[in-house]
Structure 1
Amino acid sequence: MNYLIGVDIGTSSTKAVLYDQDARVIDQANYGYELHRNAAGMAEQEPEEIINAAEQAIHEVAAKANLSKGKLLAVSISSANQSLLLLDKNKKPISRLITWADSRAQRAADNLKMMTEGQQLYMKTGTPVHPMSTLTKLLWLKKDEPELFNRTAYFADIKAYLFYRLFNEFRVDMSIASCTGLMNLKTCQWDDQALTLAGVTKDQLPEIVDGTTQAHGLVPEAQAKLGVPADTPFIYGAYDGALSNIGVGATKQNTVAITIGTSAAVRVVTDHPVIDPERRLFCYAISKGQWVVGGPLNNGGDVYQWAVEHLVDSSAVKNENVDPYTLANHVIEGVPAGAHGLLFHPFLGGERAPLWNAKARGSFFGLSQIHTRADMLRAVMEGISMNIATVFQAVRALVGEPASVTATGGFARSEVWRQMLADILNCPVNIPDSFESGCLGAAIMAMKSLGMIDSLEIPKQLIGNVSSYQPDPAAVKVYQRYTPLFKQVEEMLSPAYSEIANLQERQNK
């Protein structure tokens, strides 16, 4: 038996999955690390902790492979995008890793949005102007941390740094580069206008390579830590969202992938770049001839967790002898679609798509004396889903009517949420058996790199059992009345988001 390892470097942990040569799961490992939030807007990590987690996860699953009777064909890497690490002339970190969730570049993003250059660069790079992007992080550092910025010899994402540690080569895969706001979608190279604005040069950035590119020749120290043969090829892969699409088989323009975990995302793969004239969506290159269009949302399962913690009666949990989420889902099932006329806007953590406003805030609208905590719980679940639907509608308007939606993430543990999503989207929703789609997507990209398959389309048998949910006509009719009102109220409140966020910031100092 031959083997593949897919690795997913996430925001809270790194996972590694051992597959056989047909991409069937054999074993997996998961190592976590801390997200540091020591200041307002900060979301940083220690790069060494992430490197150690990746090494340990790979070592653990590699040990389960019987290499006396087979071969480790490749290790392929998925990672979260839009991270930034500052390196000195010896490519050693002089900062912690600044993650996508860091919002300290808000002022830089606001300024860039008002500039003609901001719109020009969105059209050229496909990356929305937002504090998450590498471009705005660089603008923020250049203005607010000039001493640190000027001491930096090289700028990297976490995956480029991992490959440097493993192979002593400074490269970045095309999809990660595309997410920075610094790569031109047409040339798939660093964009001169973006670099000039950011104040960096091509020599300070990794070389851009296709995601199927192989790295060879592990440095001895890394080979010892990983416990894999020194000649094992490592595949550069792609960012986690793109590989998640591949891992659930959503690689055609008529299949939309939706992920609802802590945050959420809506994505569709196209064979050409698609730029949103209203600047609501991203467009990132995946690999040669493939792009992913969609929108990431800050507010997903974390908002539902907040609601359960504050709205589920702890005494009822104790009396019923169930966990609070099971009780919450049961309560929500007893409330009709529309939550008796209550809307919830889930912007507890600001919002990326479709608003791109880090100062957006959440709210209940329509609250009256008839409403109960059960109504509020359902309104929260509906609000998260309606917000996803606004991004889904934007994707549909740009790339065409989807035949179906494939949805994954922690939300799928809730039967009521599965059906609600189909009703609000008014589209069939397929839920595959639970697996690590990012790791599987990485393994599929390795198979393409090795010539084992001709395309990145996943064999249907690897997806496993799929549960399908058809829209309920009665619920669809209700949501078709409420969803436009959801958007209308959001537009009415939008001018006040900045003021309430500033008041909160001053009061909480």
Structure 2
Amino acid sequence: MKEYVFYKLFGKYYIDYSIASATGLCNIYDMKWNKQSLDVVGINEERLSSLVPATYIVKNLKSEYAYYMNIDSKTPFVIGASDGCLSNLGVNAIKPGNAAVTIGTSGTIRIMSDKPKCDEKERVFSYVLTENHYVVGGAVNNGGVALRWFIDNFASGKVEMAKKLSIDIYDYVIEKASEVPAGSLELLFLPYILGERAPYWNANAKGAFFGININHKREHFIRAVLEGIIFWVYNVGKALEETTGKINTIYATGGFARSDLWVQILADVFDKKVLIADSHESSSFGAYILALYLLGIINKMDDALKMVSLTKEYKPSDTNHKVYEDMFKVFQCLYESIKQYF
């Protein structure tokens, strides 16, 4: 998508290293198109865009677009990077041990590294931000979309109630779920309603509720959905720790970061401190920081530390973590036990 936009604006096809490193066609160690991969898919290098670093600056905007946008045609355009790489930069998760967790429609957990990290079990991957900054992590298909699915199909009657109270439907149902104790009375949700990516990469994975008993009400199911999504991100996080080292602090971003309950569940499951940045749009802010650095307005990207305003801190509950630790063991076993039937 970005390649096409740049082609329209400048008449040339470019692709930045971070996007290219996600294609499976690029060698992230020499940043060249990989001939073996190209042979597998049956194309040659001439069919692909020119590889450039995320720090690449393009000028000479086509006159019609310069006129339309009312800017000088010599205005520098920084090609930038992928949303995932920039998200880490935008929330200050750029030091070892600092992870960025984003949950919107889908979800991710990523850590910055000074070199690529190879997971021999093929659970997580390395993106390239710059020659000295690599983002290692994994993405999950089922983030907020799983909550949306449940609300649309099993809590639609609450929409009118939320409207009468002038409350957002998500705030309303999550507030009800906050009245339920951690663990949702041993109700577990496997959130694979759209198949799943990291760490198992199984497009055939299916969702499930497990442990239902007569005491469970709608609010227990809603909390179980929130917990199940975090459990799966935690599963990726454990694979990430095996690959890159221990996670010490988590920076939360995305739509879920507006929910105190959901972020507290994240802190309790991981047993880590969670920090919230002032801006939930971390990828956009990361792009802004990258541009400032390249234009010489800041001296180094680490100066972003001074620019990111942290507004809230969540500390894990030992009691809740113990509940989640026991439930997570069951959660992992469930996937392994039923995957043969997907």
TM-score normalised according to structure 2 size: 0.95
1:231 is the counterpart of 2:74:
yes
Aligned to 1:348: 193
- Aligned match for 1:408, one of 253, 256, 269: 253
Equivalent-residue separation in structure 2 for 1:244 and 1:323 (angstroms): 26
Aligned to 2:12: 169
> Structure 1 residues 175-184 or 458-467, which shifts more?
458-467
Q: Please list, as runs of the form range in 1=range in 2, the aligned pairs for 1:15-54 lying within 5 A after superposition.
A: none
Gaps (5+ residues) in structure 2? none
1:329 is the counterpart of 2:174:
yes
Q: Please list, as runs of the form range in 1=range in 2, the aligned pairs for 1:457-472 lying within 5 A after superposition.
A: 457-472=302-317
Gaps (5+ residues) in structure 1? 1-157, 498-509
1:247 is the counterpart of 2:90:
yes
Q: Please list, as runs of the form range in 1=range in 2, the aligned pairs for 1:334-483 lying within 5 A after superposition.
A: 334-483=179-328
Equivalent-residue separation in structure 1 for 2:276 and 2:37 (angstroms): 40
- Aligned match for 1:178, one of 5, 17, 21: 21
Equivalent-residue separation in structure 2 for 1:366 and 1:202 (angstroms): 52
Equivalent-residue separation in structure 2 for 1:396 and 1:328 (angstroms): 33
Equivalent-residue separation in structure 1 for 2:3 and 2:163 (angstroms): 48
Asked if the contact 2:253/2:280 (under 8 Å) is kept, the reply is no
Equivalent-residue separation in structure 1 for 2:292 and 2:171 (angstroms): 40
Deviations 1:200-247 (A, max 9, x none): 111111111111111110111221222211110111110111011111
Matched AA of 2:60:
G
Tell me how large the CA RMSD over aligned residues is. Answer: 1.5
Shift in Å, 1:358? 1.4
Task: Report SS of the residue matched to 1:237.
Answer: coil
Residues 273 and 318 (structure 1), Cα distance of their counterparts in 2 relative to 1, 3 Å cut: closer
1:310 is the counterpart of 2:310:
no
Deviations 1:406-437 (A, max 9, x none): 00111122111111110011111101123422
Aligned residues: 340
Shift in Å, 1:462? 2.3
Residues 458 and 306 (structure 1), Cα distance of their counterparts in 2 relative to 1, 3 Å cut: farther
Task: Report SS of the residue matched to 1:257.
Answer: strand
Task: Report SS of the residue matched to 2:225.
Answer: helix
Matched AA of 2:42:
G
Asked if the contact 1:332/1:378 (under 8 Å) is kept, the reply is yes
Matched AA of 1:286:
L
Aligned to 1:491: 336
Q: Please list, as runs of the form range in 1=range in 2, the aligned pairs for 1:111-260 lying within 5 A after superposition.
A: 158-260=1-103
Deviations 1:250-306 (A, max 9, x none): 111210000011111111110111011111111111111221110011111111112
Shift in Å, 1:320? 5.2
Task: Report SS of the residue matched to 2:184.
Answer: coil
Deviations 1:87-112 (A, max 9, x none): xxxxxxxxxxxxxxxxxxxxxxxxxx
Matched AA of 2:79:
Y
Task: Report SS of the residue matched to 1:238.
Answer: coil
Task: Report SS of the residue matched to 2:266.
Answer: helix
Equivalent-residue separation in structure 1 for 2:164 and 2:311 (angstroms): 35
Q: Please list, as runs of the form range in 1=range in 2, the aligned pairs for 1:66-105 lying within 5 A after superposition.
A: none
Aligned to 1:286: 129
Matched AA of 1:237:
G
> Structure 1 residues 373-382 or 161-170, which shifts more?
161-170
Equivalent-residue separation in structure 2 for 1:297 and 1:403 (angstroms): 21
Shift in Å, 1:319? 6.6
* Highest RCO, 1 vs 2 (Cα 8 Å, sep ≥ 6): 2
Aligned to 1:142: none
Shift in Å, 1:311? 3.3
Equivalent-residue separation in structure 2 for 1:288 and 1:194 (angstroms): 22
Residues 159 and 323 (structure 1), Cα distance of their counterparts in 2 relative to 1, 3 Å cut: closer
Aligned to 1:269: 112
Asked if the contact 1:317/1:323 (under 8 Å) is kept, the reply is yes
Shift in Å, 1:458? 4.4
Asked if the contact 2:110/2:137 (under 8 Å) is kept, the reply is yes
Shift in Å, 1:338? 0.8
Shift in Å, 1:455? 2.6
Shift in Å, 1:316? 4.9
Shift in Å, 1:459? 3.1
Residues 185 and 321 (structure 1), Cα distance of their counterparts in 2 relative to 1, 3 Å cut: closer
Equivalent-residue separation in structure 1 for 2:25 and 2:244 (angstroms): 24
Q: Percent identical across equivalent pairs?
A: 38
Matched AA of 1:348:
I
Asked if the contact 1:249/1:458 (under 8 Å) is kept, the reply is no
Equivalent-residue separation in structure 2 for 1:318 and 1:174 (angstroms): 46
Asked if the contact 1:165/1:222 (under 8 Å) is kept, the reply is no
Shift in Å, 1:309? 2.5
Asked if the contact 1:174/1:188 (under 8 Å) is kept, the reply is yes
Task: Report SS of the residue matched to 1:364.
Answer: strand
Shift in Å, 1:310? 3.1
